[in-house]
Amino acid sequence: MSTQKVCIGIDIGGTNIEVGYVNSSGEVIFKRHYPTKSFQHPDQFIRKLQEDVTLDRDLHKLAILGVGIGAPSGNYFTGSIEHAPNMPWNGIIPLARLVQDATGLPSLLTNDANAATVGEMQFGSAKGLRNFILITLGTGVGSGFVSNGELIYGHDGFAGELGHVIVRENGRVCGCGRLGCLETYCSATGVVLTAKEKLSQSLKSELHQIPIHELNSAHISKAAGNGDVLALEVIDETARILAIALANAVAITSPDHIFIYGGLSHAGEILLQPLRKYFDSFLLKNYRNKVKILPSGLPDEAAICGAAALAWNKI
């Protein structure tokens, strides 16, 4: 059996850390899973990673070319996680350097949405595209912008925070400490909040059957699919707000594609159809009929593939 060339993709989350070996086609050939809280300090994770990578390399006959890491509040330029709000590790953690020192492998780090964007470009539906936006609708709203074929990192590595454009002056309170960010309306959390507001004013909805503290965005998508009027209103309002933010983003970077990724994207056409309708109505005439909104084409293990793509992209 000859050795197989792979890059390691590491997806760091507040709950789980996943480590996968990804070949040049974007296939995860083996992966490991660790609960984030099992490591009180990042050094403990680094030691475990070093052990397991050595094991896996020999066992699976891998030629490992590099490591890519996707992490919340990850900074590409410094290779550090910087004050991530939902992580058990505090402060500034120079994770790319720690991984590189421990494994001897070239290591790169960026935030999770940027990693997914590079993954979309390397393995997904954005192959060969030079100007596109990927937007992640999960617990929060993240994004990555590609212009002239390159991810926009900005002067400090923190570009692409579409979740934190202000869409309502004096709007909902955001985790970032400001008011009216896109994320407060169009994340899975934001959608649930919109539903709760509407449920408190109407008795007519199948969503009343779900205990209010258990309500999540999947329930809302499902109810909308069943034709529940209140759920459809929630999706419609979410789509309208997202459409303005996307039309405004297009006026800045003029992409030809926008990819929708993350939990809420599983609503599929239920969300995409009103989104496209509003987007067209809010779009400057110059851009009309030029910008496709599509679901992400990333495979199931997108976060790992995206992180690995960061390394594959530089090889």
- List residues near its own copies by CB under 8 A: 130-131, 145, 147-148, 150, 152-162, 164-166, 169, 176-178, 244, 247-249, 251-256, 282, 284-287, 290
User: In angstroms, rounded to a whole number, what is the distance separating the alpha carbons of residues 152 and 157?
Assistant: 8
- Residue nearer to its own copies on the CB measure, 49 or 108: 108
- Residue nearer to its own copies on the CB measure, 151 or 220: 151
- Type of residue at 144: G
- Residue nearer to its own copies on the CB measure, 5 or 130: 130
| Residue 172: Cβ within 10 Å count | 16
Does an H or E element contain 16, and which? Answer: strand 16-22
- Residue nearer to its own copies on the CB measure, 2 or 170: 170
Closest approach of Cβ 89 to its own copies, in Å? 18
Closest approach of Cβ 181 to its own copies, in Å? 8
The three-class DSSP label of residue 132 is: strand
Closest approach of Cβ 260 to its own copies, in Å? 17
Closest approach of Cβ 156 to its own copies, in Å? 6
Closest approach of Cβ 245 to its own copies, in Å? 9
- Residue nearer to its own copies on the CB measure, 206 or 233: 233
| Residue 6: Cβ within 10 Å count | 26
- Residue nearer to its own copies on the CB measure, 51 or 156: 156
What letters, b where the CB count within 10 A reaches 16 and e where it falls short, cover 22-54?
beeebebeebbebebeebeebeebbebbbeebe
- Residue nearer to its own copies on the CB measure, 169 or 214: 169
Residue 284 is encoded by which pair of tokens? Answer: 């400057």
Closest approach of Cβ 142 to its own copies, in Å? 11
User: In angstroms, rounded to a whole number, what is the distance separating the alpha carbons of residues 269 and 264?
Assistant: 11
Closest approach of Cβ 249 to its own copies, in Å? 6
